[in-house]
Structure 1
Amino acid sequence: MLTLSLCMILKNEEDVIKRCLNSVKDVVDEIIVVDTGSVDKTKEIVSSYTSNIYDFKWEDNFSDARNFSFSKATKDYIMWMDADEFLTDKSKERLIDLKKNLNKDIDLVTTETHMCMDENNNPRIISRRNRIVKKNRDFKWTGFVHEYIKGSGNVFDSDVSIIHDKIKLNNDRNLKIYKINIKKGIELSDRDLYYYGKELYCNGFYDDCINVLNKFITKNVWKEEMIDALSKIGECYLLKQEKVRARTYFYKTFEYSEPRGEILYNIANSFDEEGKYMQAIRWYEMILSLEIPTDCNQCINLCCCRFKPHLNLCVCYFKINNIAKSYYHHKKCLEINPNNVYVIKNEEFFNSLKNY
């Protein structure tokens, strides 16, 4: 059986770190914690799980901190986790099985990350990331923010999934780091330009995001990032209430890939908000004709593949007075997520109608 080091970087995570470590402590063979300046009880809590706690001076560079944590690991393989992540019992069993059966020729293991859990504890968003690496390959993290492991060799896509349940909002932390580096005169890589644009989007700087991502899409970049950048520009224009212009960017994504649920949803929703319900209905129904994607190398918004189209079709059909189809899509929502607040309200409404 392979041995596994868990490496973490932490700062002021007293609210979540116990949940994380309790979920993984019986699976890993050592826990390495690098603290970048906690002033709460984080280190005190962690000390009951491991003595391998190191202080690290924070200099606005996540990769430096993560590489330092990896340098302290002593086991065959290294796994990283964030404090607001944890393993379910099922994934814990799968990770144990992975330790028992992984081919020693494997250099890098990916896992799914499940985010934005719904009322039934199903993920609304999933992605796949490099999560476990062979120590003797000495893979390094790169990027001062939105860092990633630059690895190669034999890759294994595991069935382990990790839940990312964000409690503490970092707001403009990453955006500030980008601006600090830009002020230092550091030229952003294409990848940093992409994530800088997304941080501008997340913080509501839509015009700046449009400018940055329009620069990004002129470059020779990975297809998935091109599609996402075009979509983000479209979303900015939606938020600026420029729906026609927004749709031109969503349509451009079709030059790089087949139609995808999240992009079709944005197109449909733009018509929906304009009161063009028949156009919206056709786009929403197109989403339902697609298979749910399973390749999650980029984030997949599962809600846009089934639940949200059904929910909005329920409303659109009601708006054009087709109550039967409206109710049909409500029942679909009820099957997917009966505990959703909108579904509960719709159920009460339809129950109040005499014939449905």
Structure 2
Amino acid sequence: MVTVSLCMIVKNEEEVLARCLDSVCHLVDEINIVDTGSTDQTIDIAKKYTDRVFHFEWTGKFKDARNESFKHATMDYIFFMDADDVLMETDQLKFKQLKESLDPNVDSVSMYYNAGLDDFGNVTLFYRRNRLVKRSRHFKWKGDCHNYLEVFGNVINSDIAVTHKKSSHSTGRNLSIYETKIKNGDSFTPRDYFYYGNELKENGHYEKAIESYTKNINMREGWKEDKLHACINRADCYRFLGDNENELSSLFESFRFSSTPRAEACSRIGFHFQQKQNYKDAIFWYKLATQIKFDPSRWSFTYPAYSTWYPHLQLCVCYYNVLDYKSSYEHNEKALEYRPTDERMLYNKKLLQKYI
């Protein structure tokens, strides 16, 4: 059986660190925690789980701290988590089974990252990451912000998920990192333009976000999946600015970068036509969103709501407006499967029962 080093970087994580370590400490053979300047009880909490707690002066770049944490690993494989991540019970079992059966010739194991949960326990966003990597391969972290492991070789995909349970959000922190890069005259990769656009969008700088997304889309280099989502996210910015025509154009442009439409684009196109009270076309796009099958080998962002409860809820509304109450009721019932106590859907159910 292979051995595993858990490597983490932390700063002021006293509220969540124990929760994280409780979910994984019994599965790994070593815990390495690199602290970048905590002023709360984080270090004391870490020392309850391991004596391998190290200090590293923050450089302003996450890759430096993550690479430092990997230097302290001594086991066969390195597993990384953030302090506000956990392994749920089912994933703990899967991790144990993987560890017991993993072929030592594997260089990396990708796992899902459940980046958010709604109030009903539904995953709001997930994507794959190289999560368990062979130490002897000396893989390095790249990127100043939204960094990634540069991995090559024998990579396998697992169905294990690390779940993000963040209690707060550092608004503007990542944006400032990119703005420092600009101030310093650093060059931007296509990936930088995509993630800088995301930070601008999240902080309400929609026009600048559009500019950054467009630079990503127009560059010959870069991952097609980033370009696809740059089109979709740019469309959101156009909608927030009231530019509905460019919103629609950007959504259709996303089709350039995938062999089939994505539910995230189809549901937005449906909403575009719904807002114009063109319910027939809206129904077409919402139904298409529910019919697109998920590819488990996909690495890029997936937002499950756009293929599940959301289009079903909007189909309920659209069918109601064309007086097809039976179909309206049926889609509301499907939406309720994902959000059984949602007040909007319960109201719809009560209303529609009068007509069927």
Q: Could you tell me the TM-score, scaled by structure 2's length?
A: 0.95
Query: How far apart are 1:280 and its partner, in Å?
Result: 1.2
| Cα distance in structure 2, aligned partners of 1:145 and 1:336 | 34
| Cα distance in structure 1, aligned partners of 2:318 and 2:171 | 34
Query: How far apart are 1:252 and its partner, in Å?
Result: 1.2
Match of 1:200 in 2: 200
Sequence identity (%):
37
Range that drifts further, 156-165 or 270-279: 270-279
Match of 1:146 in 2: 146
Which one-letter code corresponds to 1:118 in the other structure? D
Match of 2:225 in 1: 224
| Cα distance in structure 1, aligned partners of 2:281 and 2:310 | 16
Match of 1:262 in 2: 264
**Residue 125, structure 1, aligned to residue 125, structure 2:** yes
Query: How far apart are 1:121 and its partner, in Å?
Result: 2.4
Range that drifts further, 7-16 or 317-326: 317-326
Match of 2:239 in 1: 238
Residue 23 of structure 2 aligns to a residue whose secondary structure is helix
Match of 2:319 in 1: 317
Which one-letter code corresponds to 1:185 in the other structure? G
| 1:119–1:339 contact (8 Å) kept in structure 2 | no
Residue 300 of structure 1 aligns to a residue whose secondary structure is coil
Range that drifts further, 14-23 or 113-122: 113-122
Q: 1:247-304 CA distances to partner (integer Å, 9 max, x unpaired)?
A: 1111112222211100011111112223322221121112223223433300111110
Query: How far apart are 1:120 and its partner, in Å?
Result: 4.2
Which residues of 2 match residues 288-299 of structure 1 at below 5 A? 288-299=290-301
| 1:115–1:163 contact (8 Å) kept in structure 2 | yes
Q: 1:97 to 1:334 in 2, by over 3 A?
A: same
**Residue 189, structure 1, aligned to residue 192, structure 2:** no
**Residue 250, structure 1, aligned to residue 258, structure 2:** no
| Cα distance in structure 2, aligned partners of 1:115 and 1:187 | 28
Which one-letter code corresponds to 2:146 in the other structure? H
Residue 105 of structure 1 aligns to a residue whose secondary structure is coil
Which one-letter code corresponds to 1:279 in the other structure? D
Which one-letter code corresponds to 1:41 in the other structure? Q
| Cα distance in structure 2, aligned partners of 1:307 and 1:295 | 23
Range that drifts further, 16-25 or 250-259: 250-259
Which one-letter code corresponds to 2:230 in the other structure? A
Range that drifts further, 236-245 or 67-76: 236-245
Unaligned stretches of 5+ in structure 2? Answer: none
Match of 1:283 in 2: 285
| 1:238–1:270 contact (8 Å) kept in structure 2 | no
Query: How far apart are 1:223 and its partner, in Å?
Result: 1.2
Which one-letter code corresponds to 1:237 in the other structure? Y
Which one-letter code corresponds to 1:294 in the other structure? P
Unaligned stretches of 5+ in structure 1? Answer: none
| 1:119–1:340 contact (8 Å) kept in structure 2 | no
Q: 1:296-320 CA distances to partner (integer Å, 9 max, x unpaired)?
A: 3001111101211000111122223
Match of 2:100 in 1: 100
Q: 1:329 to 1:127 in 2, by over 3 A?
A: same
| Cα distance in structure 2, aligned partners of 1:126 and 1:104 | 27
Residue 187 of structure 1 aligns to a residue whose secondary structure is coil
Residue 187 of structure 2 aligns to a residue whose secondary structure is coil
| Cα distance in structure 2, aligned partners of 1:335 and 1:238 | 29
Q: 1:67-87 CA distances to partner (integer Å, 9 max, x unpaired)?
A: 000001111100000111101
Query: How far apart are 1:31 and its partner, in Å?
Result: 0.8
Q: 1:192-246 CA distances to partner (integer Å, 9 max, x unpaired)?
A: 1221111111111110011112122111222111111111111111111211111
Match of 1:334 in 2: 336
Match of 2:164 in 1: 164
| 2:110–2:128 contact (8 Å) kept in structure 1 | yes
Query: How far apart are 1:119 and its partner, in Å?
Result: 4.1
| Cα distance in structure 2, aligned partners of 1:20 and 1:296 | 26
Q: 1:129-157 CA distances to partner (integer Å, 9 max, x unpaired)?
A: 00011111111001110000001110111
Query: How far apart are 1:27 and its partner, in Å?
Result: 0.3
| Cα distance in structure 2, aligned partners of 1:87 and 1:202 | 27
| 1:126–1:296 contact (8 Å) kept in structure 2 | no
| 1:198–1:209 contact (8 Å) kept in structure 2 | yes
CA RMSD of aligned residues (A): 1.5
Match of 2:58 in 1: 58
Aligned length: 354
Residue 33 of structure 1 aligns to a residue whose secondary structure is strand
Residue 308 of structure 1 aligns to a residue whose secondary structure is helix
Range that drifts further, 293-302 or 100-109: 293-302
Which residues of 2 match residues 34-45 of structure 1 at below 5 A? 34-45=34-45
| Cα distance in structure 2, aligned partners of 1:328 and 1:98 | 41
